[in-house]
Amino acid sequence: MAKTFNVNGTCMPDRHYMVDLTSRLVQIRKMVEAENYFTINRARQYGKTTILTALAAYLKPDFDVISLDFQGISTADFETESRFVAAFSRQLLFAAKSLTSEVRNELNAYATGREKDVTLSVLFMTLLKACGDNEKKIVLLIDEVDSAANNQVFLDFLAQLRFYYLNRNVYPVFQSVILAGVNDVRSLKRKLRPEEGHKENSPWNIAAEFCVDMGFSTEDIAGMLCDYESDYHTGMDIRNIAELMFEYTSGYPYLVSALCRIVDEKLPGEKEFPDKTAAWTLDGVYEAVKRLEKEDNLLYQSLIGKLKLFPELKVGLQELLFNGKGIPYVATSDFIKDATMYGFIRNDNDRAVISNRIFESVLYNYFISEEFLGNKLYNAGEQEKNQFIVGGHLDVKRVLEKFIETFGELYGDEDEAFVENEGRKYFLLFLKPIINGVGNYCIEPQTRNSERMDIMIFYRGEQSILELKIWRGNAYNERGEKQLSGYLDYFHMKKGYMLSFNFNKKKTRGIKEIILGDRVLIEAVV
């Protein structure tokens, strides 16, 4: 059977194109050998289950690995200790093949209910017996611990693990316990009891820090593409394609695999991409990015769901995206912890930034979509969008002219604070219906701050650079012009655009052309 790029469930080396996990497995094994108990917390579809499956096989020659999945334990099974013990015992009997007959008999009694009202302390006596009698040291892996979130029985289970870990010089215990999920179980106590929100005495405070980078590097992506290329011989430029994929995904495993899957399975056979050779190009990757950003997949649904559950998370991300607010990456901040845990942000030189360019576009589109209905700027862009397309090309200058006119009519009397906080969002609202379905845009991360934001607009294979900025005087404006000119040099472009939000009462609203060497800057002032 031919290999595929997998975006659903566990990746298997004989069925799927995968990155080489060896270096990660070596690092995790060192933690296991050091008798660490730890948690693998990563966002949804970040490869947790795949790494656990590979780890179990990697450790198997030297350890007995018991792999459990709490998705197999129902909510009702967490209602009482005895029900949890029964459900846990059933999973253990299925997963653990090396247990002695005595241990299996005890677990079978718990699982079938022959032993009534069994408590966690009784279960752990049996687990200690299993650890002491087994020929090899036992490593316990538990996936999807989120299924037990906000549950007192699970917290008591963690407390038992903690007690015996701290007394491992007295009791025979697991060599290592690894819990995997999105939510950090060290914060479950805070979430379980809101009235005790200031208490941080989690029963899992024995967990060692897990520092293994599970994201894909450019080299990881290139290695996976080399494996694919050896099968299909497309002649692709592996290095450049890997770099472009990393640029848009920052190595988020699901996004990388999803892009590869679109290029491999969806593009070949279309007019622009008649075969795999035509698809595996930079143009093919750009097309895959555009399509992936427009999907309504389970990962995006999970992200948006968190915004609805946690309004403070939504507010912080809007500040980061639209207002260019600099947010320091402070690991103890609840916003930073939650936004990182759910995959929204990452640490970039001690500053919080959106995890990757695809998530950024998805979030921009979501936030803007909330204001589609009834927004006059969006409606204006929608009603007049045909005038901005000339011969199949996007007339960015005309877009700016019309935006200035419409914005002035609708919001000309608003104060400075309104324009500074809402101006950028309103331009994107105006632009969105004009390019929707054909074009796309992204925000250049290195220029996103409180005073400057560069937008790259893509339309039918053409790119345009537009700088959105807050007016801070002539000297600042001239520096901005030179910066934009340098940006054009980098992308080998002759024309760029600038939109300035000017609060000067004596400002001149309108469009002008500025010549800088062989570059033309179209500057709009509103």
Q: Could you report the per-residue pLDDT of 474-517, keeping only the tens digit for each?
A: 665 677 777 777 778 877 888 999 898 876 666 678 899 988 88
* 201-225: average pLDDT: 92
Q: Residues 491, 463: contact at Cβ < 8 Å?
A: yes
**Percent of the chain predicted with pLDDT > 70:** 90
- Distance separating alpha carbons of residues 142 and 148, to the nearest angstrom: 11
Q: In the predicted model, is pLDDT for residue 205 greater than 80?
A: yes
The residues facing 206 across adjacent strands are none
In single-letter form, the type of residue at position 484 comes to L
Q: Residues 53, 90: contact at Cβ < 8 Å?
A: no
DSSP letter, residue 328: B
Q: What is the pLDDT of residue 362?
A: 93
Q: In the predicted model, is pLDDT for residue 68 greater than 50?
A: yes
State the pairing for strand pair 138-143/176-181. parallel
Q: What is the pLDDT of residue 417?
A: 56
Give the residue with greater pLDDT, 59 vs 456: 59
Q: In the predicted model, is pLDDT for residue 125 greater than 90?
A: yes
The pLDDT-based confidence of 245 (bands split at 50, 70, 90) is very high
The residues facing 61 across adjacent strands are none
In the block, residue with structure tokens 């640490």: 347
Q: What is the pLDDT of residue 472?
A: 67
Q: Residues 144, 181: contact at Cβ < 8 Å?
A: yes
Q: Residues 368, 429: contact at Cβ < 8 Å?
A: yes
State the pairing for strand pair 510-516/462-470. unpaired
- Distance separating alpha carbons of residues 386 and 340, to the nearest angstrom: 41
- pLDDT tens sequence across 287-304: 999 899 989 999 999 999
The residues facing 476 across adjacent strands are none
Q: What angle do CA 420, 424, 426 make, to 5 degrees?
A: 105
- Distance separating alpha carbons of residues 107 and 161, to the nearest angstrom: 18
Q: Residues 380, 324: contact at Cβ < 8 Å?
A: no
- Distance separating alpha carbons of residues 222 and 242, to the nearest angstrom: 5
* 5-21: average pLDDT: 95
Q: What angle do CA 336, 221, 493 make, to 5 degrees?
A: 80
Q: Residues 28, 212: contact at Cβ < 8 Å?
A: yes
Q: What is the pLDDT of residue 188?
A: 57
The pLDDT-based confidence of 49 (bands split at 50, 70, 90) is very high
E strands within 8-165? 37-41, 64-69, 138-143
Residues in contact with 99: Cβ distance below 8 Å, sequence separation at least 6, in sequence order: 92, 93, 107, 130, 134
Residues in contact with 147: Cβ distance below 8 Å, sequence separation at least 6, in sequence order: 70, 71, 73, 181
DSSP string, 445-487: GGG-SSSEEEEEEEETTEEEEEEEEE---HHHHHHHHHHHHHH
